[in-house]
Structure 1
Amino acid sequence: METDAFGEASVSHDDVDTGYPETESNKVDSLEGSSSNGEVVGELGNAGEFLTRVELDLACSSEKLVNLSVLMMQVATRESDYEAFVSRGEHMLGNSFEKALEFDLLSGILDSEVQEVDKFMSTLQADVISAHEIVSLFKHLGETFVEMEGKLCDSELSLKQSQDQVSEIRMQSAKFQRILASSNRDEHWNNDKGVDFPGDDQFLDTYANIKMQTAEQQRHILRLLEKSLSREMDLEKKLTESRQIEEELKLRLHSSEQEVFFLEEEGADIWERWFQADNATEILMGISKELLGRLHIFQFNLNGAVQREAELRRELERATEQLKSKEINLHKLESSEMDNVIVGLKEKISKAESRAESAEAKCKLLAETNMELKDELGLLKDGGNISEKVNLLERQLQESDYRLQHAVASAEAGEEKQSMLNSTIGDMENLIKDLKLKVLKAETQADRTKEKCIILSESNMELHKELSFFSSRLESLEASLHQAEEMKIANAKDIAIRKKVITDLVMQLSIERERLHKQISTLTAENNNLLLKLQQMNMHHSVDIGDNGRGNSEEFSLPKHDLTDVTCARESKEEVTELSATGSM
């Protein structure tokens, strides 16, 4: 499982390395070609993802180095046994042969794993250099650049420590390979000189000795074989269980990543809603300000209209009062003047009538006197003293003529006065007509002012209605603005809660990671102790056999993959228990 995990890590790292130059060139082009905040944030996200990948690769390499150090310790424990085996020539002893074979196999596995880790470290070195180039593009960001630079420095330190560990393990592996090479050269040299080294004859002797063993020893061997088979079956079961547990952990990790992704999407949606609510509040504030301005203008116009209406009403009242006073005065004047004129005309008419009557009476008297005089004149003509009487009559006739002329003149004067009175009466009638026209004009003007007052009152009512409508609209806008502010506050609280949840999840993940690292270290220590105990038990229960001994050697010589499977199974079980405990919490 260690090699599989390392292979997966190396594959993911290769994918990152192969896809990185294109992404880096795209990043440089985008940084040079665009200066918008959204693109800079996207580039920062890509750089952060790359740094996290580098950190994950370093963590994987550190875990691999821990496993390799454990394997190196196991090989080192078998080094002394192998040297004793080579120096004493105990090739035919089962326990020594088993330990030598284990040393050979484990040293070869260690050498191959060290080469793979060395290659992986070289790729990590290239990744760190490329990360330096990426981070250098964000020098203008200040705090973000300092944070990324700190992460990169930590990665470099961990990489340097890992390289030092790899160099130490490589030195130990080279030492083990030199021991194997020297032992192989000694063996070939002894074979060339014909040294009496144990060979096939000794294997035949041991086979004969095995046949001569008692039934109890054979039963003991069969029991050991059964135990080894049962252990192997248990290990296979544990291996399958560990693989199932690993798959479950992968599924849980994938589900947790999906949950985090969904939470991030929800956070982005909430931020978008918050920005939309903020924009809506700003738009509503602008609309409310415009409506307030219009409302102030309408109020100003309404106040002006009310003032004009009050002025027009005052002018109308003044005009009506003046009109009433003028009408009253006019009626008084007309009545007084007409009365005076009528009285004067009546007096003049009575005077003229009296004069005319007097003149007629005088005319009648004169006519009578004239007739009398004519009669007397005729009598006088008939009688004496005619001349004196004629003179007297002529005098009387002249006087009567004079009186008649005077009466005619007075009658003519009365007619002239009558005509003058008629002309004054016509003038008064014309004056009365003019006054009536003025009264009609004043009445029409009063009607017009009344119509204007009605129109102004109607416009005032309409303005009051518009004012009430705009005031209700303003209240509704204020209510919607209040709701938008409440939604904004609620969204901000929700964002803060989700942010807190995400930070808590990140903290829990970091705590779980540290706990798993501690458990891995403790399990490795326990594993080393168990291996030491197993070696001691193998030292006490060694059996000298041939073919069956080879089977037992297969039982006790656990290869690297079986050991790593056992440790990984235990680690996966511990992880499952820890995850279940955290899930229940």
Structure 2
Amino acid sequence: MDLDSIEDKSSSIENSNHGELESESNNVDSLEVVSSGGDTMREVESVAENLTKVELDIAHYSEKLINLDVLVMHVASRGSDFEAFLVENHTQEGPMLKALQFDLLSGFLDSEVTELEKFLSALHTDIVSSRKVVSSFTQLGDTFYDIKDKLHDCEDSLKQSFEQVSGFKEQSANFQRILLASSGDEKRKDNEDVGCLENNNDRNLSAKIKTQTAEQQKSILRMLEKSLARELNLEKKLTEARETEEELKLRLQQEVFCMEQEAEDIWERLFEAENSAEILSGVSKELFGRIQMAHLSMNRLTERGGELRSKHEKLSEQNNELTEKVSEADDTWERLFEAENSAEILSGVSKELSGRIQMAQLSMNRLIEREGALRSILENFSEQNNELTEKASEAEKRAEIAEAECKKLRMSNMELTTDVIHLKSSITHATNKVEQLETQLKDSEIKRDHAVASAEASQEKQSMLDCIIKDMGNLIEDLKSKVLRAESQTESAEDKCILLSESNAELTDDINFLTSRVEHLETSLQHANEAKHETAKDIRVRTKLITDLVLQLALERERLHKQISSLMKEKKVAVRFLQRVKDPSFKLSKNNNKNGSPEKEVNDENTGSSAISYEMEGNAQNDSSKTDANAGQDDPPSEVDTSRNIDARQLKFNYVLVIVLIFLIPPLTAFILSQ
């Protein structure tokens, strides 16, 4: 009996300890799952960053491939020029310079192609490594398929770039062959020139050169066609790459947003699940412990009540029998009294236990109500409920096993109760059980302390999870910042490319405008120089004409001065003759004779001043001499002479101004034209 009770206690304690260990292991597993999920998310984010880097590198080197295609076209044009120089019979300096330029350009192209091959091989290794990493995360779902699609796109673009690089390699090899062929052709030309001097075979050499140039021109045309097709393909690829970049940006934004929402939902669910799991595990442990303890106590109390009742009946029967045998049962009476006392004690204990059982039943009812509320909460967490139901089924099985063992113990107790000799042992057993109940109460208090400690540990775990959540939030913010930086870098690169293209277009327009302007200025300078020469010739001719006119004017002036002086003399003679004719009186003649000398002096003075006035009048004054003579009768001769002097001075000033202007016109025109 003692051994069975001890085994029951040990089994219950082991079960409770096992339940606590299982709950702790579940919490640890949940933390490991969270940490492993965080590691997977970090790896996936690193793979996504690598893919974005690869895509950006591919876009950068696609632009470089376009530039290389332009360089190939330039090298092909230089090669055609070089071949044309080789065909024509120029001096040795032109082909040598063309050969050097063609050699340098082909060497530069070969080095660029090798660098591109190395870089593309490195990108291929990165893509292969990222594919290996991504293949281990098939459980991610949509993100896995998106990353897989990105990898396929990167591989397709790499294949196309490898094809373009192989085409560039072939073209560079053709350029090297052209150089080697040109060097060989020069040697052949030297040998053939010697042979021509000996054998006079110039026609065959010209035919060979023409066939070679035609073939080379055909190859160059083919290369140009290929380069144009490649340019078209590259333009299409650029448009596709820009579209893919925009799609990738949108996808990245959507994926980041979805990942953030999913992460928030997952973390909320994880926290709720962990909190509910910890609460439910603690409550279920407490409930199962209390239920087991209540079942055990109920079974033990029922067993003890039955045993005590059977023992009481047997003792009453034995007391009836022992009353008949008083003489033989003195000692037994004392034992019976002790047994009765112990029975009374046990009955009191049983009453106390029944009260405790009622309290336990009330607590059980309350716990059942709590279980109903918790079950309503547990319906949201089916997996944990299944685990708890499994644990409950295991506990029920253990209870059934304990009940079967209790039945066996009852049978053994029924068999043992037949012996009255073991009354003391049963009483001692009852006292031991009371002590065990006290120890169980102490154990329950200890378990409660353990539950409080586990609650504190759960709080610490929650704080750890909060820290982990903060770290994940920081990681998400870092990823957002990196994505924003990458977007800003791509936008800045696009803006720079647009600005460079616009600046190049503006520069080309400015260069074209300046070249046209320079040509126009050159033509205008030529026209200005021609106009200067023509104006200089015209000025020379006009100066000659003006000098001739000035000389003629001077001669005519002298002639007119002589005519005017002769006319003045004739006029004076005519005036005197008229005065004599009109004044027959002698007095007048005397007066005229007396005043003749001063009048002559006055007239002589006036002739010098009025000579210039008669220069422009000419022969007209000959006709008006009669009218002047008639006017001389009315007016004195001094007034006529003064008016003529004024007109002559004005005419002299006008002639001087005209001559000065004529001399100033040619230098002024020359000065204006020079400006």
Question: What band does the TM-score fall into relative to the shorter chain?
Answer: 0.3 to 0.5
TM-score normalised to structure 1 length: 0.36
Of structures 1 and 2, the one with the larger relative CO (CA 8 A, separation 6+) is 1
